[in-house]
Amino acid sequence: MTEALGEKQIPVTLVELTPQVMAPADPEMAAPLHQELSLHGVDLRLGASVKAYREEKSALYAELSTGESLACGLAILAIGVKPETSLAKDAGLKIGPRGGILVDNGMRTSDPSIFAVGDAIEVKDFVTDEPALVPLAGPANRQGRIAADNIFGRNSVYKKTQGTAICKVFDLAIGMTGASEKTLKRLGLPYEKIYVHAASHASYYPNAFPISLKLVFDPVHGKILGAQAVGPDGVDKRIDVIATALRAGLTVYDLEHLELSYAPPYGSAKDPVNYAGFVASNVLRGDVRICHARDLESPEKNQRILDVRPAGATGAGVIPGASHLPLEELRDRLAELSKDKEYLVYCKVGLRGYLACRILTQNGFKCKNLSGGYETYRASLGISSARPAKPEMKTDTNERDERKEPVEKKEPAVTIKEIDACGLQCPGPILRIKTEIEKIRPGESLRISATDPGFAADVRAWCQSTGHELAEFSSAEKKYHATILKKEPRAVSSVPSSAGPSKKKTIVVFSSDFDKVMAAFVIANGALAMGSEVTMFFTFWGLNALRKPKSGPAKKNFIETMFGFMMPKGAEKLALSKMNMGGMGLQMIKGIMKEKNVASLTELIQSARASGAKLVACSMSMDLMGIKKEELLDGVEAGGVAMYLENAERGNVNLFI
């Protein structure tokens, strides 16, 4: 009804008592529907109920549990169904524990002369064997045929209900079959789950749309227990295939080998169903260990969160506490990681995270991959940037109601570029924006079209992060369209203004003492977390903190080689300024840090770099001490006193450590 009214341009408020729409689905799979409803102008009120209605003059008012009073022209109650069994009760027939008419597998009631079929009967769930009420047309029709067979002497048996269903919500479809995670958890049954985000057909062929697919399976034998999928296209095909596999008793290993029709307009050489089979089988075979969104909310003491997305993708949002190390740099920067920690790795959808975990595992590190990546994490925790529209209902029925846009349209800017990012997944659309916006001038705008369902939240977060303006956002024909206005770079006064403190901090790191370098990076990370820009200038002994533990050959003379040999090589080799005791004191401090869950120096350096700290090595000190650029961590800049002073003058905090 919401969709039908919305298509007629009638403003709709949808009030839902639970935290999600589409109650049979798991919450993270329903999350894209919330965004879709909001993008189509629906005022979505989750976790609220209607306590009463009242009429006042010519309007009807709904009184909500939140204390609000909503004016409306029409109220529709769609609060669920229950079987109409009064006739059966009057006839003395048995009623099941779920309130439906009790029947055997031939559709006979407790009176063998009376048969019952359809929504009023109680069936057995195909996966859990529990009593269930499943009001679906497909099962009802098959039950009618079975009842007729048995009435006329043919022995026909109904083989339980697995609840295969699909629903259209504007430009999205959500489908499901078998048991949900909610059901299995409620019954205390063992299960494992994986998520994949794949394209409806070959992504290079026009109009490929992303499908988010959740597969639930037995954690020991891999038997398929259920599946849910959401996307603009191709959901029905995938759910029907998995529904057939579930009915046949197949496992996730069998999904790997299903031979499904393929041509670029219709599918991919690795269909999303195959893809789900690959991922689930990898888990069961032990090729990769996985974690889920809730595991990253409160990591254990020995766990660290590692973001392996490309640098440009982090603007779309990050998981709190994560360190950033792009997959492309992982092999070269393994020395920055600790084998005493377990890394919870994530990317956008899970693929890069899987590759990162394979690299880490093969190099002796402990790790788990976040199944479904940041896309599923955001849906699981209800993180969305889609702003719900709140249209006002007009009481004059002669006036035509107009649906408001979920994002206000700003003054039109000159659109210089049109970008087609349809079919691109992972960070593709955001990376395209980042690349193209650098080619236009402030005051000009670009317009981008994408099919990635996460794009709606990504583009808002990216604009907030970079300071550009999201001038317009809309959804139509299963695509998302955004217009982004390029803004001037934020001006920074060379003298701190009395109107407010400067957000630039400069830290000179002169010492190579472990405790002093720790202090420098603790302060730097704190400043970065508070939104400051941080420049760290390393000079003389402080340069040792930036040295790689292992570096390639560098051209050095004898004195430079001897200097390098005598100095500590990297953060893990620094000594305490007091009570070092040949390294015993340092190990005691590191042990206490580990017990107190304090990040290591290597992790603090990594975190500062991921958060945008600029690390500058004094070129004069490098020359005097014979330290070459290739010996320093990747990304460290070389600079002189002028660079340091220029940064110091622009900020209002300058520390010498």
Catalytic residue ranges: 426
Instruction: Count Cβ atoms below 10 Å from residue 164 Cβ, excluding itself.
Output: 22
Q: Which two tokens stand for residue 132?
A: 């269930």
Crossing angle of helices 428-437 and 455-466, rounded to 10°: 40
User: Distance between CA 479 and CA 171 in Å, rounded?
Assistant: 8
Which is it for the CA torsion 290, 292, 295, 299, positive or negative? positive
Kindly compute the dihedral angle of the four CA atoms of residues 598, 604, 606, 610, in this order, to the nearest 10 degrees.
Answer: 100
Q: Which two tokens stand for residue 571?
A: 């953060």
Terminal CA-to-CA distance of the chain, rounded, Å?
A: 65
Instruction: Count Cβ atoms below 10 Å from residue 40 Cβ, excluding itself.
Output: 22
- Cα Rg for the chain, rounded, in angstroms? 30
Q: How many residues can be counted in the chain?
A: 657
User: Distance between CA 473 and CA 469 in Å, rounded?
Assistant: 11
User: Distance between CA 250 and CA 253 in Å, rounded?
Assistant: 8
> What stretches of 81-234 show up as alpha helix (H) in DSSP?
86-90, 137-151, 181-187
Q: Which two tokens stand for residue 229?
A: 């999928």
| Burial (CB count <10 Å: 0-12, 13-18, 19+), residue 260 | middle
User: Distance between CA 213 and CA 234 in Å, rounded?
Assistant: 11
User: Distance between CA 550 and CA 569 in Å, rounded?
Assistant: 8
Q: Which two tokens stand for residue 435?
A: 């690349």
Instruction: Count Cβ atoms below 10 Å from residue 29 Cβ, excluding itself.
Output: 27
SS3 content of the chain, % helix, strand, coil (to 5): 35, 25, 45
User: Distance between CA 467 and CA 432 in Å, rounded?
Assistant: 17
